Amino acid sequence: MPMQKKSSNIIIKGAREHNLKNIDLEIPRDKLVVFTGVSGSGKSSLAFGTLYAEAQRRYLESVSLYARRLFNQMSIPEVDSISGLPPAVALQQRRGGASARSSVGSVTTLSNLLRMLYSRAGDYPKGQGIIYAEGFSPNTPEGACENCHGLGKIYEVTEKSMVPDDSKTIRERAIASWPTAWQGQNQRDILTTMGIDVDIPWKELPKKERDWILYTEESPSVPVYPGYTKEEVQRAIKAKKQFDYMGTFIGAKRYVLQTFATSQSQLMKKRALSFMTGSECPVCGGKRLKKQALSVKFEGMDIAEINRKPLKELQQLFGPYARPVSKKDNPNTDHLEKKLVTQRIAADLDARIEVMLELGLGYLTLERSTPTLSPGELQRLRLATQVHSNLFGVVYVLDEPSAGLHPADTKALLNILDRLKQDGNSIFVVEHEIEVIRHADWIVDIGLGAGENGGKVIYNGPAAKIRDCRESVTAGYLYPETQSAKAKDKPERKPEQWLELEGVHKNNLKDLSVAIPIGAMTSVTGISGSGKSSLVSQVLVELVSAALGQKLEVTAPESGTDLLEQQAPANARGQLIGGLKGIKRLVLVDQKPIGRTLRSNLATYTDLFDPVRKLFAGTPAAKKKRYDAGRFSFNVAKGRCANCQGEGQVMVELLFLPSVYTPCPVCSGTRYNADTLQVTYKDKNIADVLGLTVDEACDFFDKELTISRALETVKEVGLGYLRLGQSATELSGGEAQRIKLATELQRTQNGSTLYILDEPTTGLHPSDVERLMAQLNRLVDAGNTVVMVEHDMHVVAGSDFIIDIGPGAGSAGGKVVARGTPAEISNNKNSRTAPYLKAYLS
Ligand code: ADP
Ligand code: ADP
Ligand code: ZN
Ligand code: ZN
């Protein structure tokens, strides 16, 4: 009897996660299934929150007894049953978990292969013994340069860095690195007791005293008489006068190093870092490895040099070695063995790099650290890595893989998804991009609206048939003849002023000059890696903020090593010439998280929470108990739950597995203590209010003007489905960006602001995109300038002006290929954007 090819369906019954309305559906296996619907309709709740979560839970249950014991604490998706579900691999964009020490080489595992190649087939200098593969990694004791511990840089704390102005006295804070406020005064008073003159310029102090103050490892405790002069202290000690307290001195350098190493506060760490100077390690020349490892060569290069080459060049390098070796090549068996090893590793490297090139990532180098990659680039790297994992029978769940991709790159992405499918896998994709939806075998359309108004299956069937589904909003965009999705006519804007950039150098931009219209909407386009972000999010931001004297805010990174990586100074070279008169303020609306802790959420970020807390403090119950507004903050000790300190969750460590958060058992995740929760406003306590969606809160607070106005703007950017207390860690990059936009929109507009946006359509269904465009047009009509990096042709076609960067990626890009109005660009033969744009005009 012939083997029957089994390909049963996945059957889901009673899915109720988040806003899903108890839905039943059947999805085929081994197909490309696209989940669509407007933002907030429940696509992710179905694909990630239900299907992936359940697959993951079953997997953990099967591998780990320890994890099983925790399951009553881990959240189980709200669903009656799922059958036919294969094991799942998620390739998600949010919360990448990329650590600073991970790089393109490590996430793709190409670094492992390269180390093997160098270890087994590298050219060793005469007489040197073989080095094991780990010896080529700067992250192991075997490989790390002993001088810089594998960092490639030496961090020093010097007199110059701690005392930037030596004409100041200690009282005038000559030692800039000392702690601020009282603690700094304390150090000064201790030195006074020790007989050091704190009122003469630093440079006039004897060198021995200066060195002791800066570098001593001693920590003497002495009596302190605050405010006394040197002489008064001496007299007081002689007279055995009672001192205020005993103060302990700490050397200035030690204070800096200790703060950097141990402080819990990112701000303190950052401040400490600013007194450290980093310079290339002289021993390894910044290559991070021991001398012996660097002496091993392949094609005349050490492994660090290879790590700095773009993937594209690596393929040219390894390609020739990948061809099969025959015995005839070389009769010397010893040599043959080495050749065979080289051939095997090179073939593997070649095949893996090939996929990355297909996905348009050929411009990346192996040493590039993952925090500097965009979420889309990282997701595509992970995807490329999967193609060679030889897995089959699994379901890959992806989150908007087209993000960051020019339409010209999207084809390659689809090829890779097809390949994974042909290997016998199921592909589930949450996606808005029309080209990807068109490529699907099967479409699950969730809707109709967002949040409470969504959560239903509008369409579940073969892709082609969605056309007949009258109700589906998505169908209207897939078949625009039934419902026009073309750029609407809009008044033509004729810019009079231009912001001119000249001689720009950054990443792959080499001596680039470009003019950007003021008082207009500009889209910057180009394939992935062409240099759009380098121009817009880096150079333009740096130059304009410097010209305006506006400080750049950097979101605080999580760990000390992240800080070291980020310290790369603002280094865009270039000049701003005209047009600054039209710009008084710069606002960057990017996709960086608005906070990475459970402590920041939608309500706190948009400043909504202050008036809400005041409202609670004003209730009779709160007045009677003398509760002020601070009582209703989960960041203040008096009102919050003491067990979880207001986080609502507690962390559970799992052996060998990532730790998981579970709801705090004391406050059941409400974040507050029982006394605080007794106070209600319109029958809801503060935790209930944080549980409301923006839509619900709009009704609830309809009489409170400040609050409802803020809520309205959040609604207008399509986020009415978010809960007020939704913590920043649960937001996607696109949602974070729209919250920033909403916060900005509710500020009073006086024009003359330059808004810089990074792919604002991420996470947006075409119907949401129209709303976004209306918002942006309103900003421009009010006299502001909008410049954005964008791939969505609907937005690009609707802009006033386009700057197309390219033509290729990396060193093959970085030039202005074309600039002009959408109509002009669509006719430009050199622009790779033109053909896609054309379809949206006319
Ligand atoms: P989509 O993927 O279609 O944009 P989601 O599935 O993310 O939509 O969201 C659907 C609904 O579920 C929204 O109302 C959203 O606020 C809610 N939701 C999403 N994540 C969570 C969560 N972690 N906890 C509670 N509600 C959530
Ligand atoms: P796009 O935004 O068009 O995708 P980018 O501006 O991000 O392109 O990248 C242009 C080039 O600059 C690429 O070769 C990329 O690898 C390089 N590049 C971008 N950011 C960095 C960085 N932080 N460090 C090193 N190289 C970078
Ligand atoms: Zn070194
Ligand atoms: Zn608690």
pLDDT (tens digit, 9 = 90+) per residue, 88-108?
A: 888 776 544 444 568 999 989
Atom of ligand 1 nearest to the CA of 722: 16
Least trusted range by pLDDT, from 74-78, 395-399, 775-779: 74-78
Report which protein residue has its CA nearest ligand 1's atom 22: 18
In the block, residue with structure tokens 């960086």? 592
List the structure tokens of 594.
């608005």
Average per-residue pLDDT in the chain?
87
Q: What is the pLDDT of residue 660?
A: 56
| Pick from 368-382, 395-409, 485-499: least confident | 485-499
**Which atom of ligand 2 is nearest to 814's Cα?**
10
Kindly report, residue by residue over 613-641, the tens digit of the pLDDT. 999 999 999 999 999 999 999 988 899 99
Q: Say if residue 442's pLDDT is above 60.
A: yes
Residue-level pLDDT at 458? 97
Has residue 664 got a pLDDT over 90?
Answer: no
Q: Is the CB of residue 720 less than 8 Å from the CB of residue 693? A: yes
Split at pLDDT 50, 70, 90, the class of 727 is confident
Atom of ligand 1 nearest to the CA of 446: 3
Phi, psi of 663 (to 5 degrees): -60, 140
Closest ligand 1 atom to residue 451 Cα is 14
Scanning the structure block, which residue is given the tokens 């865009």?
572
Q: Is 41 helix (H, G, I), strand (E, B) or coil?
A: coil
Distance (angstroms) between ligand 2 centre and the Cα of 197 equals 52
Say what the pLDDT of residue 454 is. 92
Give 420 Cα–ligand 4 centroid separation in angstroms: 44
57 vs 314, higher pLDDT: 314
Spatial separation of the C-alpha atoms in residues 778 and 784, rounded to whole Å: 9
Helix axes 766-781, 733-745, angle to 10 degrees: 30
For residue 302, pLDDT beyond 50: yes
Q: Which residues pair with 91 in a beta bridge?
A: 398
**Looking at residue 772, what is its pLDDT?**
86
pLDDT attached to residue 560: 39
Residue ID of nearest Cα to ligand 1 atom 18: 18
Q: Work out which ligand 2 atom sits closest to the CA atom of 374.
A: 7
- Report residues whose beta carbon is within 6 angstroms of any ligand 1 atom: 18-19, 37, 39-45, 430, 451, 721-723, 730
Cα(533) to ligand 2 centroid in Å equals 7
Ligand 2 interacting residues, C-beta cut-off 6 A: 363-364, 368, 372, 507-508, 526, 528-534, 810
Q: What integer pLDDT is reported at residue 64 of this predicted model?
A: 60
Band of pLDDT at residue 227, cut at 50, 70 and 90: confident
Rounded-to-integer distance, Cα 196 and Cα 405, Å: 63
716/508: higher pLDDT: 508
More confidently predicted of 556 and 710: 710
Q: How far is the CA of 534 from the centre of ligand 2 (A)?
A: 6
Peptide bond into 807 cis (omega under 30): yes
Residue type at position 792: D
Tell me the ligand closest to 527's alpha carbon: 2
For residue 448, say if its preceding peptide bond is cis, omega within 30 degrees of 0.
yes
For the chain, the farthest-separated pair of C-alpha atoms sits apart, in whole angstroms, at 108
Class of residue 332 by CB neighbours under 10 A (exposed 0-12, middle 13-18, buried 19+): exposed
Q: How far apart are CA 391 and CA 388, in angstroms?
A: 8
Q: How confident is the model at residue 380 (pLDDT cuts 50, 70, 90)?
A: confident
What ligand is nearest to the CA atom of residue 694? 1
Please give the angle made by the CA atoms of 226, 231 and 234, to the nearest 5 degrees.
80
pLDDT range class, residue 65, cuts 50, 70, 90: low
Give the up-direction half-sphere exposure of residue 360: CA atoms within 13 A in the CB hemisphere. Answer: 29
pLDDT number for residue 66: 60
814-823 pLDDT, tens per residue? 999 999 999 9
Nearest protein CA to atom 14 of ligand 1, as residue: 451
For residue 157, the CA-to-ligand 4 centroid distance in Å is 42
Tell me, what's the pLDDT at 524? 98
pLDDT, average across residues 28-50: 93
The pLDDT, as a whole number, for residue 96 is 40
Whose Cα sits closest to atom 26 in ligand 1?
Answer: 18
Distance 781 CA to ligand 4 centre (A): 47
Distance from Cα 52 to the centre of ligand 1, integer Å: 15
pLDDT value of position 60: 72
Structure confidence at residue 749 (pLDDT): 66
What ligand is nearest to the CA atom of residue 151? Answer: 3
How many whole angstroms from 671 Cα to the centroid of ligand 4? Answer: 5
Tell which residue, 816, 43, 63, has the closest CA to residue 500: 816
- Ligand 2 centroid to residue 96 C-alpha, Å: 19
Q: Residue 113: left (phi > 0), alpha (psi -120 to 50), or beta?
A: alpha
> In whole angstroms, what is the distance from residue 449 CA to residue 756 CA?
29
CA of 436 to the centre of ligand 3 (A): 46
Q: Identify which of 306, 289, 212 has the alpha carbon closest to the alpha carbon of residue 250.
A: 212
Ligand 1: atom nearest CA of 721 is 14
| 76 Cβ neighbours under 8 A, 6+ residues apart | 53, 57
Please give the Cα distance from 339 to 334 (Å, whole number): 9
- The pick from 41, 43, 45 for probing ligand 1's pocket by mutation, whose C-beta has the most ligand atoms within 8 angstroms, reads 45
Question: Residue 100: left (phi > 0), alpha (psi -120 to 50), or beta?
Answer: alpha
Task: Report CA Rg, the chain.
Answer: 30
| pLDDT at position 327 | 60
pLDDT in the model for residue 126? 93
The CA 716 to ligand 1 mean position distance, Å, reads 17
Instruction: Give how far the C-alpha of residue 381 lies from the chain's centroid of Cα atoms, to the nearest Å.
Output: 15
Instruction: Find the 73 Cα to ligand 1 centroid distance in Å.
Output: 21
User: Does 487 score more than 60 pLDDT?
Assistant: no
pLDDT for 575: 87
Residue closest by Cα to atom 1 of ligand 1: 40
Query: What is the pLDDT at residue 112?
Result: 94
pLDDT of residue 430: 94
Q: Which ligand is nearest to the CA of 293?
A: 3
Q: What is the token pair recorded at 605?
A: 């970020």
Split at pLDDT 50, 70, 90, the class of 385 is: confident
Kindly give the number of the ligand 1 atom that is closest to the alpha carbon of 18.
12
ipTM at complex level = 0.92
pLDDT on residue 67: 57
Please give the Cα distance from 331 to 479 (Å, whole number): 65
Our mutation pick for probing the ligand 2 site, out of 378, 402, 405, 507, counting the most ligand atoms within 8 A of Cβ, is: 507
Q: Whose CA is nearest to atom 5 of ligand 1?
A: 42
**Helices marked H in 216-332 — which ranges?**
230-238, 252-262, 266-273, 291-294, 303-307, 311-318
As separate numbers, helices (DSSP H) first and strands (DSSP E) second, the chain gives 34, 26
481 pLDDT tier (thresholds 50, 70, 90): low
Q: Ligand 2 center to residue 199 CA distance, Å? A: 51
The Cα–Cα gap between 78 and 608 comes to: 31
Ligand 2: centre distance to CA 531 (Å): 6
Ligand nearest to the CA of 294: 3
User: Which residue would you say has higher pLDDT here, 573 or 201?
Assistant: 201
- Single pTM value for the model: 0.79
Helix, coil or strand: residue 719: coil
Mean pLDDT of 656-674: 78
CA distances from 676 to 641, 643, 704 (A): 9, 15, 22
* pLDDT at residue 31 in the model: 96
Q: For tokens 């440079």, what's the residue? A: 203
Query: Is pLDDT larger for residue 122 or for residue 663?
Result: 122
State the DSSP H helix or E strand holding residue 457, giving kind and residue range, or none if neither.
strand 456-462
Point out the ligand 1 atom lying closest to the alpha carbon of residue 723: 16
Residue 142 predicted with pLDDT over 60: yes
Name the residue at shortest CA distance from atom 25 of ligand 1. Answer: 18
pLDDT: is 182 or 126 the higher one?
Answer: 126
| Residue 743: predicted pLDDT | 84
pLDDT tens digits for range 780-791? 998 999 999 999
Q: What is the mean pLDDT of residues 41-46?
A: 92
Q: List, for residues 499-511, the tens digit of each pLDDT value.
A: 999 999 999 999 9
Read off the tokens for 617.
């403090």
Across 52-66, 696-710, 800-814, least confident range? 52-66
pLDDT of residue 552: 55
Ligand nearest the Cα atom of residue 808: 2
* Residue 658: pLDDT band with limits 50, 70, 90: very low
Which ligand is in closest contact with the Cα of 791? 2
Ligand closest to 810 (CA) is: 2
Per-residue pLDDT, 93: 62
User: What's the confidence (pLDDT) of residue 330?
Assistant: 58
> Could you report the per-residue pLDDT of 504-540, keeping only the tens digit for each?
999 999 999 999 999 999 999 998 889 999 999 999 9
Cα of 429 to ligand 2 centre, how many Å? 26
Report which ligand 2 atom has the smallest distance to the Cα of 528: 4
What pLDDT shows up at residue 395? 92
Alpha carbon nearest to ligand 2 atom 18, residue: 507
389: pLDDT strictly greater than 90: no
pLDDT reported for residue 482: 44
Percentage of the chain modeled with pLDDT above 70: 89
Q: What residues does 427 pair with on adjacent strands?
A: 32, 396
Q: Which residue has the tokens 């054309």?
A: 838
The larger pLDDT score, comparing residue 349 to residue 95, is at 349
Sign of torsion over alpha carbons 321, 326, 332, 337: positive
